[in-house]
Amino acid sequence: MKFHLLKIKAIHRLTADSVQITFDVPTVLHEEFSFVPGQYITLDIDGTRRDYSICESPNNKEWSIGVKAMEGGKISTYLVNDLKVGDELKVSTPNGRFTIPSKPNEKRTLIAFTAGSGITPIMAMAEYTLQTEEWVNFHIFYVNKNSQSVMFQDKLNDLSAKYPQNLHVHHFYTQEDQENFIYNGRIDEKKFDLILNQLIDINEVDEAMVCGPEEMIFTLAKKINEAGIVEKHIHFELFTTAVKPEQVFEKTEDEVQEVNVKVTLDGEEMEFVWNREKNLIDAMLDHDIDAPYSCKGGVCSSCMCKVTEGEVNIGENFVLTDSDYEDGMTLACISRPKTAHLAIDFDDV
Ligand code: FES
């Protein structure tokens, strides 16, 4: 994760409270900024970091994000209302694990459930898949307040016109009635069952994506799983989490207070004393080490690293899989020392 100062190349209004922001990525940085659909970049605005998913297919060679002004959200409001073309922002290279395998030679069905600005990574996934997979069936179930609050409506229309056999966008509105009652209201458990009965055959689904608020993710991911899709084919992206670090760490008497930790980052080895009062990211920042992080809450995966010696305690997270744990992976932002000697590698992930 490296930050570069990038100029704003274009700002395109999507709805009254959302915009698409395109960065001018110089050709020399194209490789560093290469990404897989579903990944995000992190903005660092005066020390505050926020993640925004890339909304373009990598084939377009454009680096754009979709931003919706959140109530009380200083950064998102600034980006939507005050940012100008030509301004510069500190932008990280792309990150993230909300991605699906590309299978250009297969006939497959993909389904995506999303709400509001959760559509942003789905836009990149859908466009790339449509560009590269001739036989794909891509269903998007997209919840908004009304037809005026649909982000990327024009682009969704264009893609539907270009790929009428492959893309199927189903709009659900919570505050505007539509003729078919199935499309009225958000997608809860009952609505999900109706969708399965009337709109898709779950037995044909190969990958399922869910991107939106936490409640929607957990409800739908569980339902999709119960309907027969195994965990590794269900992908979700949380925007925020309610888990607070202080809820995560239970102090026990016998835990070590201070440890020596050896950290490998960008090919360099550093050693310092890590006090368990702090998570590993904050401990590194205290020692002027340019630690990779964004959410600091076990959500985004920017801080993923490998414990190569010793053990850490890790809090609850929605990122690491069973095989990550087996490989010794951890998230530095929710890790505290467990053993007296530790070695952590940020490069080997
Ligand atoms: S910084 Fe986001 S998971 Fe650690």
Q: Is the CB of 137 under 6 A from ligand 1?
A: no
Looking at residue 247, its pLDDT comes to 43
Distance from the alpha carbon of residue 134 to the mean position of ligand 1, in angstroms: 36
Looking at residue 299, its pLDDT comes to 87
CATH architecture of 249-345: Roll (3.10)
Distance from the alpha carbon of residue 296 to the mean position of ligand 1, in angstroms: 4
Q: Which residue has the tokens 């401990």?
A: 283
CA distance 34 to 93: 8
Q: Residue 116: how many CB atoms within 10 A of its CB?
A: 23
Relative to the CA of 295, which ligand 1 atom is closest? 2
Q: Is the CB of 314 under 6 A from ligand 1?
A: no
Relative to the CA of 296, which ligand 1 atom is closest? 1
Looking at residue 90, its pLDDT comes to 97
Q: Is the CB of 293 under 6 A from ligand 1?
A: yes
Which pTM value belongs to this model?
Answer: 0.86
Distance from the alpha carbon of residue 34 to the mean position of ligand 1, in angstroms: 21
Distance from the alpha carbon of residue 129 to the mean position of ligand 1, in angstroms: 28
Tokens for 141, please give them: 């179930």
Query: Which of 97, 331, 335 is the pocket-test mutation for ligand 1 (most atoms within 8 Å of CB)?
Result: 331
Taken in order 241, 242, 244, 248, is the CA torsion positive or negative?
Answer: negative
Looking at residue 249, its pLDDT comes to 44
CATH architecture of 109-238: 3-Layer(aba) Sandwich (3.40)
- CATH number at 3-92: 2.40.30.10
Distance from the alpha carbon of residue 164 to the mean position of ligand 1, in angstroms: 39
Amino acid at 261: V
CA distance 24 to 41: 14
Q: Is the CB of 302 under 6 A from ligand 1?
A: yes
Distance from the alpha carbon of residue 95 to the mean position of ligand 1, in angstroms: 11
Looking at residue 245, its pLDDT comes to 44
Looking at residue 319, its pLDDT comes to 85
Q: Is the CB of 300 under 6 A from ligand 1?
A: yes
Looking at residue 258, its pLDDT comes to 87
SS3 of residue 163 by DSSP:
coil
CB burial of residue 284 (10 Å; 0-12, 13-18, 19+): buried
Q: Is the CB of 331 under 6 A from ligand 1?
A: yes
Looking at residue 240, its pLDDT comes to 60
Q: Is the CB of 224 under 6 A from ligand 1?
A: no
Distance from the alpha carbon of residue 292 to the mean position of ligand 1, in angstroms: 8
Looking at residue 100, its pLDDT comes to 93
DSSP state for residue 93 in the 8-state scheme? P
Q: Which residue has the tokens 């990404």?
A: 35
Kind plus residue range of the DSSP H or E element containing 345: strand 341-345
Kind plus residue range of the DSSP H or E element containing 15: strand 3-15
Relative to the CA of 300, which ligand 1 atom is closest? 2
Looking at residue 262, its pLDDT comes to 96
Mean pLDDT split into 10-residue runs, the chain, 349 residues: 96 97 97 96 94 96 96 93 98 93 94 96 98 97 97 98 97 95 94 92 94 89 92 83 45 67 95 92 94 90 95 86 91 92 93
Distance from the alpha carbon of residue 332 to the mean position of ligand 1, in angstroms: 7
Q: Is the CB of 295 under 6 A from ligand 1?
A: yes
Q: Is the CB of 296 under 6 A from ligand 1?
A: yes
The answer to whether 113 touches 223, Cβ cutoff 8 Å, is no
First and final C-alpha spacing in the chain: 12
Q: Is the CB of 153 under 6 A from ligand 1?
A: no
Distance from the alpha carbon of residue 320 to the mean position of ligand 1, in angstroms: 11
CA distance 140 to 324: 29
Instruction: Please report, for the chain, the start and end positions of each structural domain, with discontinuous segments joined by +.
Output: 3-92, 109-238, 249-345
